[in-house]
A and B are shown apart, each in its own frame.
Chain A
Amino acid sequence: MYNFDFVKPATVAEAVEALSGEEAQALGGGQTLLPTMKQRLASPATLVSLTGIADMQGVSQKDGAICVGGATPHAVVAANAGGYPALAALAGGIGDPAVRNRGTAGGSLANNDPSACYPAAALGSGATIVTNTREIAADDYFEGMFTTALNEGEIITEVRFPIPEKANYQKFEQPASRFALVGVFVAKFADGVRVAVTGASEDGVFRWAEAEAALSADFSPAALDGLTVPADGMISDLHGTGAYRAHLVGVMTKRAVAAA
């Protein structure tokens, strides 16, 4: 790790101000950034911790949505998002207790790791990503692996997850890291079904349109019979080929529907 300055503002405005500095970097729970800095692969001049901002903490329910403060740790979501059990379960299944007590919803979404769980929940729920300057629909937010619609210095202050009639998240874990080798979030709303897939694609989280159409007509595992996602564009690595991941998308989607 290289030397850096550390600030811990108490308000979003102070954080925005601090982030306007040269080579300043926002710090959520640090579950990705700190290991990267320890390996000397990142060297921000200033770390701006977002965890001291009271307005960005906590879970609430209003207007049919679960609202998660951007700096809320996964363990808090797991314990307090009872109004949206699939979301609580997803948060409770990330990493291990140490990760869940540090890692934050906003941090995960801002990083947009292609194998992270939260992007599947946000895209699968049709969430709204609230920042210090605007509201971004999840469909417009994810722009590919580690890439989002966030501008430089923009902070995720809150994420609003509309509560569906039914939902479930199924994660097939990569054996070493236990990140999602493939994770599928299925949510059934009154106006249709959303299916979001993480872990599988080289473009990061994506919606599986064919499955959504089939499930919107008939929300049952059988409705997915015969549907496949193409292996092209799927991640292929030590832990599974693209074909294997494509196959798992089908399996995990069926299981999510059955469990929803």
Chain B
Amino acid sequence: MPKDHGIGASNKRREDVRFLTGTGNYTDDINVNGQAYVYFLRSDVAHGRINKVDTSDAEAMPGVVRIFTGKDFEGVGGLPCGWLVTDKHGQPMQEPGHPVLAQGKVRHVGDPIAAVVADSLAQARDAAEAIVLDIEELPAVVNMKAALADGAPKVHDDLANNLCYDWGFVEENKGAVEDAFAKAAHVTTLELVNNRLIANPMEPRVAVGDFSRATGESTLYTTSQNPHVIRLLMGAFVLGIPEHKLRVIAPDVGGGFGTKIFHYAEEAFCTFAAKALNRAVKWTASRSEAFMSDAHGRDHVSKIELALDADNNFTALRTETYANMGAYLSTFAPSVPTWLHGTLMAGNYRTPLIYVNVKAVFTNTVPVDAYRGAGRPEATYQLERVIDKAARELGVDPVALRRQNFIQPDQFPYATPVAVEYDTGDYDATMDKLIEIADFSGFDKRLAESKARGKLRGLGVNCYIEACGIAPSNLVGQLGARAGLYESATVRVNATGGIVVMTGSHSHGQGHETTFPQVIAEMIGIDESMVEIVHGDTSNTPMGMGTYGSRSLAVGGSAMVRAAEKVINKAKKIAAHLLEASEADIELKDGQFSVAGTDKSVAWGDVTLAAYVPHNYPLENLEPGLEETAFYDPSNFTYPAGAYACEIEVDPDTGKVTIERFAAADDFGNVVNPMIVEGQVHGGLAQGIGQALLEGAVYDENGQLLTGSYMDYAMPRASDVPFYSVDHSCQTPCTHNPLGVKGCGEAGAIGSPPAVVNAVVDALQRAGKPVTHIDMPLSPARVWAAMNG
């Protein structure tokens, strides 16, 4: 029987009451008395030299408070990059400056040139139109390989070229990999594109900067996944405000998907301008602005080669990837195609030799950074597509080829040739479960039914593994991270027993306010309703690194467990005093402290009251109060894994693909709230299916964004996705965090694109079409062209 309480219970999301009744408190809901509004005048050319920005007419327009340009930020820091990648020669990446407002040049359509602050947004917009720009348009670089050609226009004049870095991993293995390819019985090669995506959270980005002359404190309200990170980056590197004079608040946030991790120019601007003007300044992105200023995702062009021996064992893997950085380095951009991508190229397999080369390239496009999965979808897509292609070339069952090469359960912990060590896993178990829930045995019947209706049907299968819960700070520091990646929590017990947990994690759809109390309730044996979660405000939560990379429960939850353990240990001391027993004999169960082997007990609430009303209390050796903080730095990543299957139909007359069935068997380790996990998987699958079939940001050769609105950028809608069969009953708990959890937020987006593409290729090959690959998105036009190529 399913649990109705604590860990394992599908509690309904308590935060949904306010989200579904319109009573959430989003950043745009925040209005500061007397606030002004800022409108950013953005470049409409992809590359140009700024000769002059004449604001004189505009400044005289009604309601204008002040107009800022790049000149106003000459003494101010640029937006920092949080990760330094070292290239294959041991040299640091080329790292260009990133001014808050453009200085000297504009480098992508949407690059902010001037910021008009006025009493109303309409007045700011009117004044922006009166700014006279003299911008000399320069040739733009959009295509990555063209950007690396000799004589290509340089995005940054002060850099040697447009190459950010040329990374080899593991460089020492390169020769051995080449030898293995020379000896291979079979080599399968595939060139593919991982399409550029725009995250499109439902809530666009918003920033409200405020300043108190009385206290000298700056406050930024912002749509962020990690307010402490923004406080550190913006305070220390951009504006020079110490943390104790800077408060960053990320209230309810309507979806992040990675694109709200990063520190953006608009945040720094509003904070800076509020202080300069002694007046709050608010910015709310329009959807059009979001398209041209939110960091984009993916955009890799790759070649992958898989070597197999005569028995179809994988012997080596080699990849070459061009990764688009866009015009500037967004906060974590350099880490995505390297440490979040190369380290996952082993997948679920025993491939002994792997070499990954990545060339990161500057282009005149919006910066590219992490998007749901971040590097791991790109690795999974390459690997699972090339394995599928190899199976077809060799005439073997794609499932059997995968199984034959799986890392076996008795091989864990398993050190891959790409630096990471998987702690646990059982890939045959999830594959077995997949075959059951996807009803493979009924496929032939469904195929016949499709055929009778004139439709082609295909079945695609793939596996995935990902690394979540980023990660040991000492390790990521060695890899170039300019931040620690621990998480924090304070567990504050009130006098009458209620608990407030202040977490450094941030919820923007994940349901922390529901799941975190389930953990505390389980540990103490009290009802979830006694526990409240506070997050998102640097002034009342301990320094934490925020939420991304499916890390909240694995890292933030672990910090909370550690803090709760400290609380319980102290409470046991108090209980021992009250019960006149030895602390070692005190047991906590169902909210009661009891003395082992006796009927003596004292309730949770009596102990907490004693902590704050210490009349009968061991004051000589115990402080009053019951509040503890813990910082948790994990010893490894976690490695969720699974197997996915997609069944599609193709309309041979139009090329239109419809997803008929989708099954996902995931191993997330232990699960705290199965319903929320299922919801996370559903959302990830929708985004993965969106990438596979619909989404794709496209620039023309001049750097104009052709998909600048929903008229041309196709988001998945409810009717584009099927009812899913999802399962997470295969559980190999994480061995190194106290909850045994692995993370579930990105799996769906990582595992689903190859399943869709494998299924379409399967359908076309069953129909006798010699199609081995189609690049995403698999739009009707592309599929039809491939069929009729």
Contacts and interface: CB of A to CB of B under 8 A. Distances in A.
A251 interface: yes
A248 B655 CA distance: 10
Given A39-B288, A175-B694, A251-B654, A241 B781 contact: yes
Contact of B654 (A238, A239, A241, A248): A248
B440 interface: no
Contacts of B715: 176
A82 interface: no
Contacts of B654: 172, 248, 251
A238 B711 contact: no
A73 to B, nearest CB: 21
Contacts of B82: none
Given A172-B654, A175-B694, A251-B653, A244 B710 contact: no
The residue in A1, A172, A176 that gathers the most chain B C-beta atoms within 10 A of its C-beta is A176
B497 interface: no
A175 B714 contact: yes
Nearest to A255: B653
Interface in A224-253: 238-241, 244, 247-248, 251
B785 interface: yes
Given A172-B654, A248-B654, A177 B710 contact: yes
Given A176-B711, A251-B654, A238 B706 contact: yes
Given A39-B288, A238-B698, A251-B654, A176 B714 contact: yes
Contacts of A39: 288
Given A39-B288, A248-B654, A175 B706 contact: no
A177 B784 contact: no
A175 B777 CA distance: 11
Contacts of A40: 125, 129
Contacts of B54: none
Interface string A165-199: 00000001001110001000000000000000000
A247 B787 CA distance: 13
Contact of B779 (A1, A239, A248, A251): A239
B712 A177 contact: yes
Contacts of A175: 693-694, 714, 777, 779-780
Contact of A244 (B122, B706, B777, B781): B781
Given A175-B694, A251-B653, A238 B785 contact: no
A40 B121 CA distance: 14
Interface residues of A, number: 16
B713 interface: yes
Contacts of A244: 655, 781, 784-785
B765 interface: no
Contacts of A251: 653-654
Kindly state the interface size class of chain B when it binds its partner. Answer: 20 to 34
A158 to B, nearest CB: 30
B712 A247 contact: no
B707 interface: yes
Contact of A176 (B288, B712, B784, B785): B712
Contacts of B653: 251
Contacts of B780: 172, 175, 181, 240
A39 B44 CA distance: 14
A238 B777 CA distance: 11
Interface in B117-169: 122, 125, 129
Nearest to A251: B653
A240 B788 CA distance: 14
Given A172-B654, A248-B654, A251-B654, A240 B710 contact: no
Contacts of B711: 176-177
A239 B656 CA distance: 12
A111 to B, nearest CB: 15
Contacts of B656: 172
B494 to A, nearest CB: 47
A238 B713 CA distance: 10
A181 B654 CA distance: 11
A195 B394 CA distance: 49
Interface string B693-705: 1100010000000
A172 B780 CA distance: 10
Interface in B751-779: 777, 779
B785 A241 contact: yes
Interface string A111-129: 0000000000000000000
The residue in B655, B712, B715, B781 that gathers the most chain A C-beta atoms within 10 A of its C-beta is B781
Nearest to B706: A238
A239 B654 CA distance: 13
Interface in B634-677: 653-656
The residue in A175, A244, A247 that gathers the most chain B C-beta atoms within 10 A of its C-beta is A175
A238 B695 CA distance: 12
Contacts of A240: 779-781
A239 B713 contact: no
Interface string B710-750: 11111100000000000000000000000000000000000
Contacts of A238: 698, 706-707, 712
Contacts of A247: 784
The residue in A1, A39, A40, A238 that gathers the most chain B C-beta atoms within 10 A of its C-beta is A238
Contacts of B707: 176, 238
A102 B552 CA distance: 44
A176 B781 contact: no
Contacts of A241: 781, 785
Interface string A1-22: 1000000000000000000000
A177 B122 CA distance: 28
Contacts of A172: 654, 656, 780
A117 to B, nearest CB: 16
B710 A239 contact: no
Contacts of B777: 175
A176 B198 CA distance: 14
Interface in A17-67: 39-40
A211 to B, nearest CB: 16
B698 A176 contact: no
B288 A239 contact: no
A176 B690 CA distance: 11
A244 B781 CA distance: 7
Given A244-B784, A248-B654, A176 B706 contact: no
Nearest to B720: A175
A175 B653 CA distance: 16
Nearest to A96: B717
B342 to A, nearest CB: 32
Given A175-B694, A176-B713, A238-B698, 20 more contacts: A1-B122, A39-B288, A40-B125, A172-B654, A172-B656, A172-B780, A175-B777, A175-B780, A176-B711, A176-B714, A176-B715, A177-B710, A181-B780, A238-B707, A238-B712, A239-B712, A240-B780, A240-B781, A241-B785, A244-B784
Interface of B: 122, 125, 129, 288, 653-656, 693-694, 698, 706-707, 710-715, 777, 779-781, 784-785
A-B pairs with the 4 shortest C-beta distances? A176-B714, A240-B781, A175-B714, A177-B711
12 contacts: A40-B129, A172-B654, A175-B714, A175-B777, A176-B707, A176-B711, A239-B712, A239-B781, A240-B781, A241-B781, A244-B655, A251-B654
